[in-house]
Amino acid sequence: MGRGIRFKATRRTGFCLCGSWNSAQTLRSRRKLVDGNPLCLWRTLWSGLDEAAAALQKHLAANPSSLDALNLLQLVQWRRLDNPSYLQATVQLCQFHLKAPDFDAAWKTFEEFNTGSVDKMPAATWLELNRNLESQQNFERAVAEYERLVAAPAQKESLLALLSAGRICLRKLNRPADAMRNYKAAQASTVPQLDWEANISMGIQVAERAQPSATSTLK
């Protein structure tokens, strides 16, 4: 069997894990999953990965609120070396935690996703994560993430990210030049902006007044 995870069949609906994992952290996760969790499949993780993934996806279709199944699906997809499916499971986990709501867990999941594939995070989910950062007054990181989100294809979320970054730079971080840059980028965006045109114009005016003049700079 090696050192993989074994799935034990039961009469109940779902799965339960047995076998050994490779670290203290995963052992703790295993205990968490096993306690009261009825997931079932017979085969080792090494030889039954496809069956495990299919069974978990079927279980989640019927039980979308099963956090244990989502955690296990993410692990199985990673073991299968199926990066697109692993990232999809990670997105599902992130969205689950945001809905809970459990921002700390959502952010931890996002950080796992953030190892090079963050551009594949749905823009709406990324925007919600950034708004949570802002609500926790983590303004520097919120601006950084909003500005990264701007690289998303031309859509409403990229425009909202520019406006949010501009607002934080102007009101919270005393960085009018950065605020101006973001508001100007929003103004030049190809995303329809009728609902935000007044906000953009006002932001540009306020940022312009907040910047030191060329004369005062020379002094």
Structure token pair of residue 196: 């935000």
How many whole angstroms separate alpha carbon 134 and alpha carbon 147?
Answer: 13
pLDDT value of residue 1: 34
How many whole angstroms separate alpha carbon 129 and alpha carbon 48?
Answer: 35
pTM for the predicted model, two decimal places: 0.73
Residue 101's contacts (CB-CB under 8 Å, 6 or more residues apart) are none
Task: State pLDDT tens for residues 26-69.
Answer: 434 444 444 444 444 433 444 588 888 999 999 999 999 999 99
pLDDT band for position 4 (50/70/90)? very low
Lowest mean pLDDT among 20-24, 121-125, 126-130: 20-24
Alpha carbon 195 to its chain centroid, in Å, reads: 27
How many whole angstroms separate alpha carbon 88 and alpha carbon 104?
Answer: 19
How many whole angstroms separate alpha carbon 1 and alpha carbon 42?
Answer: 12
Alpha carbon 177 to its chain centroid, in Å, reads: 29
Domains of the chain (ranges, CATH numbers): 122-211 (1.25.40.10)
Q: Would the CA dihedral through 138, 168, 116, 127 be positive or negative?
A: positive
Residue type, 44: T
Task: State pLDDT tens for residues 116-125.
Answer: 566 678 999 9
How many whole angstroms separate alpha carbon 73 and alpha carbon 90?
Answer: 9
| Burial class (CB within 10 angstroms; exposed 0-12, middle 13-18, buried 19+) of 179 | buried
Please report which residue ranges of the chain form alpha helices under DSSP H. 24-34, 49-62, 67-79, 83-99, 103-113, 123-135, 139-149, 156-171, 176-188, 197-210, 214-218
Task: State pLDDT tens for residues 161-208.
Answer: 999 999 999 999 999 999 999 999 999 988 888 789 999 999 999 999
